[in-house]
Structure 1
Amino acid sequence: IAEQFVNTDLGGQLGDWLDFMKVMTLSSDRKAAQPDLENQRLAVQVMTIHQSKGLQFPIVILPFLQSGSFPSSLKKHPIINRLPSSWMNWEQDTETTFRDIHNREERRVFYVGVTRAERELYLFGPTSRQSMFTKELESENPQPMEIKTMNEHQDNSLSLSERKQRLLADLNREIAAKQIDNARNILDELEKADRGETADGSTPKSTSREMLHLSATKIETYDTCPLKYRLKHIDNVSERKTRATLEFGSIMHAVLEEFHGLKIAEQTEENLKYLLNKNWREDAFEYRLRGEEFRKQGEEILSDYFRFIQENPPNVLKRESPFSYVMDEINVKISGKIDRIDQDGDTLAIVDYKTSKKKEKAETNLQMALYTEAILRDAVPGVKGNPGKANLHFLRHGDDPLSSHQFSEQNLQDSRIKISKVADGIRSGSFEPDKNEFNCRYCDYKD
């Protein structure tokens, strides 16, 4: 049946396969049946953990290990079918809750699952919303096999172009027919596809003048290495680095955004700590110990930040302000979000929070130039005025956190030229790697 599907639909995807199977089921008398194998241990067996009790396997794979899935969430029944635990006549005082009992049972089931493995055990789950059970295994020093982030908005082609899908289907068919020479030729074509080349060996070009959507991050990525831009923003190849640092930055931004939304009298250090607790997400970090380390850093950062604003009270006008504007001459739409806009005399000051350890100059920061341009163009909803200083606030540098610059027209013109060059490069399909020791040493795509 599978071979028939491949020969019928060369570009078939998972959804097409399921539809095909449904049609086959309705149009024939074939019934689904498990293959009758003499040795079941030679096949992959899919079963629930309860079904695996008493069995052993050389390799065991446990998927879907995430909070809310395993352990499953405690279901609250709409109808009361038993007395509250505090009303029951226990033999001894206990603080055990139904949630504790539920988690204890889930842990017992998890133990059954992991102890089915004779040689190898593979646990699959996300880095965020991680299962509490896998976190408890960190003392065993488990080795990550692969960390990959799936894009929810990515289509079901699994990042394979239509051409590569056709080639893979052809390859399967030629191998099945034992046409080795033909299979080798198809493998050569697949290698070209992996390099982004067309069938004639050239790199596809695009001179499309359709609207190009860019941000400061995308522009800087292309300027650093065009190939990295392509892999990250066109091919959607995920970076391997941990998201812990990014998650920490998001939490700190959320805390400060909410803090400056409070009334002045409520902007106390106690409320700042409360907001850290409120926005903290344990499942944002791969391991409990790492989460605790970031938590301590967050408390220290906020303590320094509170001291700074006590000495330099800001007149906050807007927080987390999105903007977008179109550069008509090159048909590029620039978008972003400004962390904070302050009224500073008769000008508007821009503030962008940074949790990075390395301090950089605001003068050379493209992001700050784009924010200034946005205010100049009245592109920030609800904000009108003349742009003043652009401030990078480095939260880890408590004693001297600011790097400031007021952008001149020449500075802004330089940034426009840079954007134009980047847009031309992207549209022309120029994605050559910028190979240098610094870029490649810390690049997630170097392998």
Structure 2
Amino acid sequence: MPAAAQHLDAVRLMTIHGAKGLEFGGVHIPGLNSDTIPRTPPAPPCPAPDGMIAGAEGSAVEIFRAGQAEEQECLFYVAQSRARDRLILYAPTEKSNGHNRPLSPFLDRLRATVTRRSIVPARPLPMAAEARGVELVVDGRLSFGASQIALYESCPRRFFYTHVLQVGGRRTATAFMHLHEAVRSVVEAVIASAGPMSQQALEDLTDAALAGEELADHGYSADFRALALEMLHFFLSSRAGAALEAPIAVSVMLDGEEILVKPDEVMVRPDGVRAVRRVRTGHMRSTESKDVGAAALILAVEQAFPGAVAELVHLSDGQVSPLALTKRELDGRKGKLAKFLGDIRAGRFPAEISTRTCPNCPAFFICGPTPDGSLQKKFV
């Protein structure tokens, strides 16, 4: 276990595969339901032709499923045989929606060797420490950027660590992430120049940015350079013929609190329409055009640039996406923004538990209870 995790008041788990060859006085096996073990795997994307597998009868898919079923039986045997003295099996009988959840058919094979007990929780579970409110005392009004509020929508607890406690929120940077940092720095330089840029000047800027991210001597430096220039060429082509304006920050006020929106680029296209743009180097997320960050950008455009359009530019996709929300959708997002700001002031920062995102969160090992007492902050 990592040193940072040694103090956690938690139960250590291991996979059945990881337990092979080990033995314990007591073994607890949770989740013995028909949809857990035996697990029904999806059909292989490229099964062997029928009749090719020697000594087996049936179609290739039937043979595959039979082999998988046998492997699940072996896995269940491995799990049970890790116990020396006590073996305790668990299986919920009800889903969160109230529907029945069938038990694993493997339990029937144990028959009278298993003592069965039905347990009904006698009391509600206590509130998790990270779900309790924080006594937050704010001096003045709240002031956050649109992307910061979007993080609160994703996980209020991570927002608390990153933007309230300000303990940092960066993951360990890979070489590919350094590539995106280099492209971002060149995009910022191109926008700041406000004039045409030659191919040689663009390549020189790119080479300097890649060297600054320590990618000049990387084994894939040529590939990184080609990717960076491809993204940058798309960015330049997307603003061809437009008159550029200096981007300005716009304060969107909601119930006395402030959301600060600063577009990456403002330009007037050849058709005379002003485009207010947010430029990203990565790929567009499925919810990005509908989240509260997008709503904040639209509200800022309506306030500071009447008649303009808001756009999301994603260089990895080579795509410019206009932002458009109906009045009903925008009113809903506006209400959600106001609620988020109210929850922040009230100190509500619950964790959004996810088996996919939590293990990769920079705050993974510190996510938990906060010390007693009040926390005083000033955000303006």
Band the TM-score falls in, shorter-chain normalisation:
0.5 to 0.7
Instruction: Tell me the equivalent position of 2:279.
Output: 353
Q: 3-state DSSP class of the match of 1:351?
A: strand
Q: 3-state DSSP class of the match of 1:298?
A: helix
Task: Identify which of 364, 371, 374 aligns with 2:297.
Answer: 371
Unaligned runs of 5+ in 1: 1-194, 379-383
Task: Identify which of 313, 319, 333 aligns with 2:240.
Answer: 313
| TM-superposed deviation, 1:214 | 1.4
Instruction: Tell me the equivalent position of 1:65.
Output: none
1:253 aligns with 2:184: yes
Conserved? CA contact 1:363–1:405, under 8 Å: yes
Q: State the Cα deviation string for residues 70-112 of structure 1 (Å, max 9, x = none).
A: xxxxxxxxxxxxxxxxxxxxxxxxxxxxxxxxxxxxxxxxxxx
Q: State the Cα deviation string for residues 200-229 of structure 1 (Å, max 9, x = none).
A: xx7543475830011122211111111111
Task: Identify which of 121, 132, 141 aligns with 1:211.
Answer: 141
Instruction: Tell me the equivalent position of 2:360.
Output: 442
Conserved? CA contact 1:260–1:316, under 8 Å: no
Conserved? CA contact 1:318–1:342, under 8 Å: yes
The alignment's TM-score, normalised by the length of structure 2, stands at 0.52
Provide closer, same or farther for how the CA distance between residues 208 and 393 of structure 1 changes in structure 2, counting only shifts above 3 A. Answer: closer
Determine what percentage of the aligned residue pairs are the same residue: 18
| TM-superposed deviation, 1:305 | 4.0
Q: State the Cα deviation string for residues 326-347 of structure 1 (Å, max 9, x = none).
A: 51x5221111321111224353
Give the partner amino acid of 1:396: S
Provide closer, same or farther for how the CA distance between residues 413 and 259 of structure 1 changes in structure 2, counting only shifts above 3 A. Answer: same
1:418 aligns with 2:336: yes
| TM-superposed deviation, 1:352 | 1.9
Conserved? CA contact 1:224–1:439, under 8 Å: no
Matches of 1:286 and 1:303, distance apart in 2: 20
Matches of 2:329 and 2:274, distance apart in 1: 18
Q: State the Cα deviation string for residues 218-276 of structure 1 (Å, max 9, x = none).
A: 21111111111111122222235234666544542342344356576x43333322332
Instruction: Tell me the equivalent position of 1:127.
Output: none
| TM-superposed deviation, 1:350 | 2.0
Instruction: Tell me the equivalent position of 2:320.
Output: 402
Give the partner amino acid of 2:280: K
Task: Identify which of 210, 213, 225 aligns with 1:284.
Answer: 213
Q: State the Cα deviation string for residues 126-185 of structure 1 (Å, max 9, x = none).
A: xxxxxxxxxxxxxxxxxxxxxxxxxxxxxxxxxxxxxxxxxxxxxxxxxxxxxxxxxxxx
Task: Identify which of 362, 366, 387 aligns with 2:308.
Answer: 387
Instruction: Tell me the equivalent position of 1:161.
Output: none
| TM-superposed deviation, 1:419 | 1.1
Moved over 6 A (4+): none
Give RMSD over aligned pairs: 3.4
Provide closer, same or farther for how the CA distance between residues 413 and 248 of structure 1 changes in structure 2, counting only shifts above 3 A. Answer: farther
Instruction: Tell me the equivalent position of 1:169.
Output: none
The alignment's TM-score, normalised by the length of structure 1, stands at 0.45
Q: 3-state DSSP class of the match of 1:342?
A: strand
1:302 aligns with 2:225: no
Provide closer, same or farther for how the CA distance between residues 361 and 267 of structure 1 changes in structure 2, counting only shifts above 3 A. Answer: farther
Q: Which structure has greater helix proportion?
A: 1
Task: Identify which of 324, 345, 351 aligns with 1:427.
Answer: 345
Structure with more relative contact order (C-alpha pairs < 8 Å, separation 6 or more): 2
| TM-superposed deviation, 1:427 | 1.4
Unaligned runs of 5+ in 2: 1-128, 366-380
